[in-house]
C-alpha cells in the first residue's frame, strides 16, 4: 500500500528485499553512499571507536577508517560548522548529532549559516551537507533530553527536512539527503531505531524528498503524522479496524520541508476528518502548520475541525507515570481518533 | 565544614565515600530491577575528588554540577532517602520525581543541580558567582564539569566572563580520562586541562583526585581565594571512572580490562582506608563507618520503595510560578487534544 | 479603543500620559523597575558606554552605574546563561540581545535551561529573568540579520513570550516581564523603535501577560497580528476605511505565550473572516498556530479559510527591491485583506 | 603571488592599499546618497594588515572573513566593479546583489565570504581546512576575525578542532582595539590575544599590523607551516579602526578624538609610502599608483550605477540547488498569501 503515495519510486530491483531494523537501514544507507562516493564521510561524537552512542554507525570505523568515520570532541557548534565548510568545498559530510536536543548549541550554524549559503551568496556556492539526529522521548530521559524541535528547522527557508517512519524510507531518505545539493536535516527517533521492516536493498533506490506516503488506506478519518508518530498511528489504525470496524487512513509525511500538502489534502478530501499527530509539542509545532494548510486546502471538505495531538506541553518529567501521561501514546491517539469522529457527529 | 587550616577528620569523609560507593551499587541493582530509568551515571572511583572538594566548601558556598551527580548530592548532605526517591521518580525525591538521576538539587544546601547538557551548567554557575559578587558576599561557587566539557564553547565564554569580571568561582574539572568513549588526548589539543586557565590569566591547578587530603587542601585554598579576593580558578582533579559512561555502557570498547584493573588497584576508598589506619583509626571504627554507610543505603531504598509516585493530576506543576494559571486561562480554546486535562488542569501555575 | 481588549488594566493614574517613542517607553520601564527594585539589572553587549546599539538603554549607565548596567563581551551563550544563574538566586536580570538573530547562539541556555528550571527541579527553584531583543527586517541587513523566530520561543513550554506593538504596551509588558517570576522573552522590533504613541507614566501600571487587545474595532474582517505587523495592519485598516469603506478589526496579540485565543476567537466570531499577519516566515510560524486555533475555535463561524501573510520564505536578500518584495508591507497586507474578503463572497 | 622568500614589490601593494581607502571613502559617500544600505563597515586604518596577509596567501589558498570585508575582497583580486555593484545591490555584484557589504565572496579566487555572525565563520573555515587535509592538498585557509570575536564559544571550539586534527589554517585576529564600543581590555581576560593559542598548544604570534612587510613575513611563514606541516596558528595583527564601527557610528562615545588623531599620525598608508621612498620609488611612480587606484574606484562606481537591479521575478533564486523545484511542487496548496508568486514562481531551485 506504501507504493500508492510514491509514483516516482523505482520498483524493487534485483538486489531484493531484506527485513532489518531502522538502525540497520540507516547504516546500510551510509555504507552504500560511502562506497559510492569518496566525498561522503561521517563525523560526530562517538561515531567511531564507541560504535555510535545509539549504535547507528556500528562497524563503519573498521570498514572505512578514522578519516571517513571521524570521532569529534564535544563541540557541536564546531563540528556542525566544520561540516558546513567541508560541504562548501564539495565534500558530502554526514554529521551525526547524538540527539536533537544537542543541536540547540549548534543552532546558529544550522539556521544562520548552512541555510543561508545558497541564497545569501547569490547561488555562487552551495552547502550539500547532511545532519542526522534522533528526536523523541519515552525512556525517562527527562526535560533536557526528550524534545522534538522538528518544526523549527522545517520553518527555515534554505533547509530541507525529512523524518522517515519506516526502515525502507530511513534508507531511501538518508540516501536522497546525501545526494541532495542542499543542507538536509534527517530527523530520526530514539524508540524507532529498533523497529523492523522490509528494506529494498538496491543501492540506487532513494525515497524522493518532498513526497508523503499513504501508509495505510482508510475511509473514515485521516491521521497525518511523521516519524515515530506514524508507527503509533498505524498500530492504532489496525486495532480500531479490528475492534471497532473504524477505517483510518494514515498519511506519513516523510518530508517536513518540502511538505507534501497535496497528498494530505487528497486524503482529507476523501475522509473529511483529520487528526494530526506529532511526538513533540503541538502548539506552534508541526501539527499547527498541518492544521493551517488543511483548513485552507480542504475548507469545504472538513466535517469537523482539524484536531491535533502531541506531547503534553510541559518539560517532560522523569517519573515514569508522569512521562507516560504526557506522551502521545497509542491509547491517547486512539481516544483522539474516536473523539474526532464523534465530533463529526 | 572544615576550613583549610583545620586538620582533616578523615573518618566521616571515609564514611561518605563508602556511602557513595554503596549507594551507586544499589542504584545499579535497582536500575536492573527497572525501578530506576533514564540515564544513570555512576561515579565509582571518583569518590575522593567528590567528597574532598565538597568538604572544602563552606556551608553557604554554592554547588553546581553536571549529570554525574549522585556523589556530589550525598557529599553535600542531601539525605540519601531524597536522592534514592528521586532516582525512583517518587514524590519525596529532592526534585519531587521530576528530575531523576541527572537533575538532583537541594537549594536549602546551596546545591543548584544537576544539569544534563554538557557545559550548560558553566554559564549558569558563572551567573550565580556574579550575583554573589554584586551583593559583595564572601561566598564562592564550586562548578563541577567533566574533561569532555572543556571543549564546549560554554567553557570558554564562562571562564572569560568569570575572569574579566573577577567572580568568586572555582571550575572543578573532574578528569576521569574519558568523555564517553573519547580519551582526553583525542578530544583536547591541550590535554593538561588545568593549563587552559592561562588563556584567561586565571590560576589553574592540578591535583591527584584520588588523594583525599590533597584535594581538600587545594580546593580549600582556591575557594578561599575566590571568596576573599574574587579570584576565579580552575582545579583539575585527576581520577578514573571504574564503570562505563552510564549503566548502559560496559565501558570496554575504548579501554582495556588491564587499564581498568590497574586503576582499581589504586581505589581511592582503599587509599583513604589506609590513610585512616596510619592516623590510628581502629578496625572497629572503620567497620562501624562502613556499616553506617551500608545501613544508610538500606534505609534510602526502603524509603524510596514506600514513597508514592507524584500525583498524576499535577503534570504541569512547577513549570510556571504560582499565579501564572490566570495568564493562561485565555489560551484554552482550540488547544490540542489533552491540553485541557493534562496542562491547564494539571497544576499549571500552582 | 485600545482599552476594549484589556479590562484588567488599571485606569491611567495621576502620573498622567506622555507621547514618546517605543524606544523611550522601554527605557522608561527599565528605569522605573530599576528604581523600584535593587535586584533589577541590565546586561548585554554595548548597553552601557555605547548607550545601546539601538540606544534603548541610553543614559542608564550614568544613572545606575556599571554594576547595574553591565557591558558584556561578545558571548551571548555566556551572559544569557549568567542571567539564568543570577535569576535562580533571586536577581531580576534584564538581558539585552542586540537582535533576535544572535539569540541562536544562546538557544541552548534559553530553551534547554531557563525554560526547564521550574518543572525539572520540581518547583524548588525559579528563573525570573527577562530577555529583551528586537526581531524584524527592512533595512537591507540581509539574510543573517533579518529574522523573526518568535514562534520557536512561543512553542517552548516553560517560557513566556510577549511582543508589544505600542509604546504603552512596550512599557507595560516589559514591566510585567520584570515582575514575573518566570523567564520572559520580550520581543521588540527594529523599525518599531521610532514609532510614537501615548504612554501612561504611572510606574505601577503594567500590561497583563496573556491578554490580547482589540487595537481597532471593525466589522468586515479581522486581522490578527503582533509587534510591527500590528502597526502596519492599523495603517492599512485606516486606509481601507477611508478609501473603500471596508471595516477591518485589528487584534493585537501582545503575548504569544500565553496566547489569548479567546479575544481572537471572539473577534472572528463577529467578522467571520480573518487574515493573520506576521513579520517572520509564516510556514511553521506564529500564524500557523493562529490558523490552527481559529479553524478549531471558530469552525462554524468562518465564511472563508483563515489566510496568512508574512515574509516571503527566502533568506532575506540585500537588494532593496528584492527585500521590499519579500516583506509584509502595507501594500501586501492591503491586497491580502481584499483577497480574503473576495474569497468570502 | 609572492612566496615568503621572494622580495616584496611594495608598489602594487601600496596601490591596493590606496584602492581600499579610496573605495571605502566612495562607499561612504554612496551610503549617504542612499545608494548603499544595510550595515556598512569600513576598514580605514587596517589596510596594511589586510593587504599584507592576503599577499602572503598562495593563489590556491582559501580566504574566509567576517563582515568588515571590502578590503579583503579587493586585496584578493575581486574586481572593484563587482564589489561596488554588490554594495549597490545590483545584478552583477559578486553575490548578485543578494549579500551586500557583509557577504562578499568570489569562489573563483578562493574567497568564501563575507560572514555576519561574530565568530560564525570560524567553524566553517575550520571545516574547509579539514577538507584540504582530507584531500592531502598543500593548501591553507586564512580565516579573519576581529578582537571581539575571540570571546565567542565558536573561537574555542574551532581552535581546538584545528589543533587536535592538525588542520592547515591560520586564524588572523585583526585587533583594531575595539569591538564596537568595547575595548579589548574590557572584553578579554587575556588581552594579549595571540597568547590564547597556547590553550590549544598552537603557535600564536603578534605583529604590528600597520607594518606591511612585517605582516607579509609572519603571515607567509605561518601559512607555509600550515600548508607544509599542517600546523594551525593564530596571528594577531595590531591595528586601529579610524572610523566608527559602521558608517552609522561616529565612533566617539568610547574613545577620545586625541586617541584617533594619534593613530592617524601613524596611518599605514603614509608608512608604506615612506617605505616606498626609502626603496627609491619616484614621486611619479607613487602618484601614478594613487591615480590608478582613484580611477579604479571611479570605474567601479560608474559600473555599479549602470548595473541593473536583480530581476524581481527571481526572489527565490539560489536558495535551493537546481532541480529542487520539483521537490517543492506538492507544497503549494494552502500556502500563505504570496508564496505562489514570490517563492514557487520566483526561481525556486533554478
Ligand atoms: C551538548 C551535549 N552534547 C552531547 C551530550 C551527550 N553526552 C552526555 S555525557 C557526555 C560525555 C561527557 O564527558 P565528560 O565531560 O568527561 O564527563 P563524564 O561523563 O566523564 O563525567 C556526552 C557526549 C550532551 N549531554 N550534551
Ligand atoms: C553573535 C553576534 N553577536 C553580536 C553581533 C553584533 N556585532 C556585529 S560586529 C560586532 C563587534 C565585533 O567586533 P570585532 O570582532 O572586534 O570586529 P570589528 O568590528 O572590530 O572588525 C558585534 C557585537 C553579531 N553580529 N553576532
Ligand atoms: Mg570524563
Ligand atoms: Mg575589533
pLDDT in tens, D214-227: 999 999 999 999 99
Which chain D residue has the Cα nearest residue A266? D333
In this model, does residue B1 exceed pLDDT 50? Answer: no
CB contact under 8 Å between B182 and A73, yes or no, is yes
DSSP for residue D107: G
Tell me if residue C76 is catalytic: yes
Give the pLDDT confidence of D21-31 residue by residue, as tens digits: 999 999 999 99
Distance from C-alpha of D49 to C-alpha of D257, rounded to nearest angstrom: 23
Give the pLDDT confidence of C54-105 residue by residue, as tens digits: 999 999 999 999 999 999 999 999 999 999 999 999 999 999 999 999 999 9
For residue D154, the CA-to-ligand 2 centroid distance in Å is: 13
How far is C-alpha B316 from the geometric centre of its chain's CA atoms?
A: 26
CB contact under 8 Å between C67 and B120, yes or no, is no
Q: Three-state DSSP class for D112?
A: strand
Residues of A in Cβ contact (< 8 Å) with C187:
none
Q: What residue's CA is closest to ligand 2, atom 8?
A: D118
Please give, one letter per residue, the 3-state secondary structure of chain B. CCCCCCCCCHHHHHHHHHHHHHHHHHHHHHHHCCCCCCCCCCCCCCHHHHHHHHHCCCCCCEEEECCCCHHHHHHCCCCHHHHHHHHHCCCCCCCCCCCCCCCCCEHHHCEEEECCCCCCHHHHHHHHHHHHHHCCCCCCEEEEEEHHHHHCHHHHHHHHHHHHCCCCEEEEEEECCEECCEEHHHHCCCCCHHHHHHHHCCEEEEEECCCHHHHHHHHHHHHHHHHHHCCCEEEEEECCCCCCCCCCCCCCCCCCHHHHHHHHHCCHHHHHHHHHHHCCCCHHHHHHHHHHHHHHHHHHHHHHHHCCCCCHHHCCCCCCCCCCHHHHHHHCCCCCCCHHHHHHCCCCCC
What is the rounded average pLDDT for all residues in chain C? Answer: 95
* Catalytic, out of C76, C188, C278, C334: C76
- Which residues is B91 bridged to in the sheet? none
Which residues fall within 8 angstroms of residue B199, CB to CB, at 6 or more apart?
A: B156, B159, D190, D195, D196, D198, D199
Classify residue C58 as exposed, middle or buried by CB count within 10 Å of its CB (0-12, 13-18, 19+).
middle
Q: Cell 484588567 maps to which residue? A: C8
State residue A290's pLDDT score. Answer: 98
Give the pLDDT confidence of D82-120 residue by residue, as tens digits: 999 999 999 999 999 999 999 999 999 999 999 999 999
Residues of A in Cβ contact (< 8 Å) with C115:
315
In this model, does residue C168 exceed pLDDT 80? Answer: yes
State residue A239's pLDDT score. Answer: 98
If one residue of B123, B148, B263 were mutated to test the ligand 1 pocket, choosing by the most ligand atoms within 8 A of its CB, it would be B148
Average pLDDT over residues C205-231: 98
Between chain B and chain C, how many beta carbons pairs sit less than 8 Å apart? 183
Distance from C-alpha of A55 to C-alpha of A76, rounded to nearest angstrom: 19
Grid cell for residue B53: 572538594
> Ligand 1 pocket, A322 CB below 6 A?
no
CB contact under 8 Å between C318 and D346, yes or no, is no
In a mutagenesis test of the A interface, which of B256, B320, B334, B338 is the best target, namely the one with the most A β-carbons within 10 Å?
B338
- Degrees to nearest 5, angle at CA B121 with B115 and B124: 125
If one residue of B49, B66, B118 were mutated to test the ligand 1 pocket, choosing by the most ligand atoms within 8 A of its CB, it would be B118
In this model, does residue C28 exceed pLDDT 90? Answer: yes
Give the pLDDT confidence of C232-271 residue by residue, as tens digits: 999 999 999 999 999 999 999 999 999 999 999 999 999 9
Q: Which atom of ligand 1 is nearest to the CA of B175?
A: 16
Angle between helices C261-271 and C286-297 (to 10 degrees): 60
> Ligand 1 pocket, A74 CB below 6 A?
yes
Classify residue D89 as exposed, middle or buried by CB count within 10 Å of its CB (0-12, 13-18, 19+).
buried
Residues of D in Cβ contact (< 8 Å) with A71:
none
Q: What residue's CA is closest to ligand 1, atom 20?
A: B179
Give the DSSP H/E element, type plus range, for residue C18: strand C17-21
Distance from C-alpha of C222 to C-alpha of C206, rounded to nearest angstrom: 26
For residue B287, the CA-to-ligand 1 centroid distance in Å is: 36
In this model, does residue C203 exceed pLDDT 50? Answer: yes
CB contact under 8 Å between A332 and B338, yes or no, is yes
- Which residues is A44 bridged to in the sheet? A71, A96
Average pLDDT over residues B310-333: 96
Size of chain B, expressed as the number of residues it contains: 350
In this model, does residue D156 exceed pLDDT 50? Answer: yes
Interface list for C 37-66 with B (CB within 8 A): 41
- Backbone φ and ψ of A177, nearest 5°: -65, -45
CB contact under 8 Å between B310 and A143, yes or no, is no
Residue C26 and residue C57 in contact, taking contact as beta carbons nearer than 8 Å: no
- Which residues is B169 bridged to in the sheet? B141
For residue C249, the CA-to-ligand 4 centroid distance in Å is: 49
State residue A11's pLDDT score. Answer: 52
For residue B175, the CA-to-ligand 3 centroid distance in Å is: 5
Distance from C-alpha of A196 to C-alpha of A181, rounded to nearest angstrom: 30
pTM to 2 decimal places: 0.97
Residue C268 and residue C251 in contact, taking contact as beta carbons nearer than 8 Å: no
Q: Which residues of chain A have pLDDT under 50?
A: 1-10, 344-345
pLDDT over 70 percentage in chain C: 95
Residues of B in Cβ contact (< 8 Å) with D200:
189-190
- Which residues is D341 bridged to in the sheet? none
Distance from C-alpha of A124 to C-alpha of A109, rounded to nearest angstrom: 19
> Ligand 1 pocket, B147 CB below 6 A?
yes
Tell me if residue C145 is catalytic: yes
Residues of C in Cβ contact (< 8 Å) with D187:
73-74
Q: How many CB atoms lie within 10 A of CB B284?
A: 8
CB contact under 8 Å between D152 and C283, yes or no, is no
Instruction: Report how far apart, in Å, the C-alpha atoms of D254 and of each of B178, C72, C194, C335, D181 are.
Output: 46, 14, 24, 47, 5
In this model, does residue D139 exceed pLDDT 80? Answer: yes
Q: Three-state DSSP class for D310?
A: coil
For residue B201, the CA-to-ligand 3 centroid distance in Å is: 25
Q: Hey, is the C-beta of C301 within 8 angstroms of any chain B C-beta?
A: no
Q: Which atom of ligand 1 is nearest to the CA of B174?
A: 21
Q: Three-state DSSP class for B74?
A: helix
Give the DSSP H/E element, type plus range, for residue D111: strand D111-114
CB contact under 8 Å between A308 and B179, yes or no, is no
Amino acid at each position: 500500500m506504501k507504493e500508492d503515495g510514491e509514483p516516482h519510486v523505482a520498483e524493487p530491483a534485483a538486489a531484493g528485499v531484506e527485513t532489518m531494523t531502522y538502525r540497520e537501514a540507516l547504516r546500510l544507507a551510509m555504507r552504500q553512499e560511502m562506497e559510492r562516493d569518496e566525498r561522503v564521510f561521517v563525523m560526530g561524537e562517538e561515531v567511531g571507536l564507541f560504535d555510535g552512542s545509539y549504535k547507528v554507525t556500528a562497524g563503519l570505523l573498521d570498514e572505512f577508517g578514522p578519516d571517513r568515520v571521524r570521532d569529534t570532541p564535544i563541540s557541536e557548534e564546531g563540528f556542525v560548522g566544520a561540516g558546513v565548510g567541508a560541504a562548501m568545498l564539495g565534500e558530502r559530510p554526514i554529521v551525526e548529532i547524538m540527539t536533537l536536543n544537542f543541536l540547540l548549541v549548534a543552532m546558529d550554524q544550522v539556521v544562520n549559516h548552512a541555510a543561508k549559503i545558497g541564497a545569501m551568496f547569490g547561488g555562487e556556492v552551495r552547502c550539500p551537507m547532511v545532519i542526522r539526529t534522533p528526536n523523541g522521548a519515552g525512556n525517562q530521559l527527562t526535560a533536557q533530553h526528550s524534545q522534538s524541535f522538528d518544526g523549527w528547522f522545517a520553518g527555515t527557508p534554505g533547509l530541507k527536512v525529512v523524518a522517515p517512519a519506516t526502515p525502507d524510507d530511513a534508507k531511501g531518505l538518508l540516501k536522497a539527503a546525501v545526494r541532495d545539493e542542499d543542507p538536509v536535516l534527517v530527523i530520526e527517533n530514539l524508540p524507532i531505531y529498533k523497529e523492523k521492516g522490509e528494506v529494498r536493498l538496491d543501492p540506487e533506490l532513494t525515497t524522493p524528498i518532498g513526497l508523503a506516503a499513504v501508509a495505510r488506506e482508510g475511509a473514515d478519518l485521516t491521521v497525518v503524522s511523521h516519524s515515530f508518530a506514524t508507527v503509533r498511528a498505524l498500530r492504532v489504525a489496525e486495532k480500531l479496524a479490528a475492534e471497532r470496524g473504524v477505517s483510518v487512513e494514515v498519511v506519513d509525511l516523510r518530508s517536513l520541508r518540502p511538505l507534501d500538502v497535496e497528498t494530505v489534502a487528497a486524503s482529507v478530501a476523501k475522509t473529511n476528518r483529520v487528526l494530526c499527530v506529532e511526538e513533540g509539542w503541538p502548539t506552534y509545532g508541526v501539527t499547527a502548520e498541518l492544521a493551517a494548510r488543511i483548513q485552507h486546502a480542504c475548507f469545504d471538505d472538513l466535517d469537523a475541525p482539524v484536531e491535533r495531538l502531541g506531547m503534553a506541553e510541559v518539560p517532560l518529567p522523569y517519573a515514569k507515570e508522569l512521562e507516560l501521561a504526557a506522551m502521545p501514546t497509542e491509547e491517547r491517539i486512539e481516544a483522539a481518533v474516536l473523539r474526532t469522529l464523534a465530533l463529526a457527529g | 565544614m572544615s576550613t583549610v587550616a583545620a586538620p582533616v577528620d578523615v573518618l566521616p569523609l571515609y564514611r561518605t565515600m563508602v556511602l557513595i560507593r554503596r549507594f551507586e551499587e544499589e542504584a545499579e541493582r535497582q536500575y536492573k530491577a527497572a525501578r530506576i530509568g533514564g540515564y544513570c551515571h555512576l561515579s565509582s572511583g571518583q569518590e575522593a575528588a567528590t567528597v574532598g572538594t565538597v568538604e572544602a566548601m563552606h556551608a553557604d558556598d554554592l554547588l553546581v554540577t553536571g549529570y554525574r551527580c549522585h556523589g556530589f548530592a550525598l557529599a553535600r548532605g542531601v539525605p540519601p532517602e531524597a536522592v534514592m526517591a528521586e532516582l525512583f521518580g517518587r514524590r519525596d525525591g529532592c526534585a519531587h520525581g521530576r528530575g531523576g538521576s541527572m537533575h538532583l538539587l537541594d537549594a536549602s544546601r546551596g546545591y543548584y543541580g544537576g544539569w544534563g547538557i554538557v557545559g550548560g551548567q558553566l554559564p549558569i554557575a558563572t551567573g550565580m558567582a556574579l550575583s554573589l559578587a554584586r551583593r559583595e558576599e564572601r561566598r564562592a561557587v564550586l562548578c563541577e564539569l567533566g574533561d569532555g566539557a572543556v571543549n564546549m564553547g560554554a567553557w570558554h565564554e564562562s571562564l572569560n566572563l568569570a575572569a574579566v569580571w573577577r567572580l568568586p568561582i572555582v571550575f572543578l574539572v573532574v578528569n576521569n580520562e574519558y568523555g564517553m568513549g573519547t580519551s582526553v588526548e583525542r578530544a583536547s589539543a591541550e590535554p593538561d586541562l588545568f593549563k587552559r586557565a592561562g588563556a584567561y590569566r586565571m590560576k589553574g591547578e592540578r591535583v591527584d583526585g584520588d588523594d583525599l587530603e590533597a584535594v581538600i587542601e587545594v580546593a580549600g585554598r582556591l575557594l578561599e581565594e575566590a571568596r576573599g579576593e574574587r579570584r576565579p580558578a580552575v582545579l583539575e582533579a585527576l581520577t578514573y571512572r571504574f564503570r562505563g559512561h552510564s549503566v548502559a555502557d560496559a565501558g570496554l570498547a575504548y579501554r582495556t580490562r588491564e587499564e581498568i584493573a590497574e586503576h582499581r588497584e589504586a581505589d581511592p576508598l582503599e587509599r583513604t582506608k589506609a590513610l585512616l589506619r596510619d592516623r590510628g583509626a581502629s578496625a572497629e571504627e572503620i567497620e562501624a563507618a562502613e556499616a553506617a554507610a551500608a545501613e544508610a543505603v538500606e534505609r534510602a531504598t526502603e524509603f524510596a520503595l514506600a514513597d508514592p509516585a507524584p500525583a498524576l493530576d499535577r503534570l504541569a506543576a512547577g513549570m510556571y510560578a504560582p499565579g501564572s494559571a490566570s495568564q493562561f486561562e485565555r489560551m484554552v480554546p482550540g488547544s490540542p487534544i489533552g491540553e485541557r486535562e493534562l496542562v491547564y488542569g494539571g497544576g499549571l501555575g500552582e
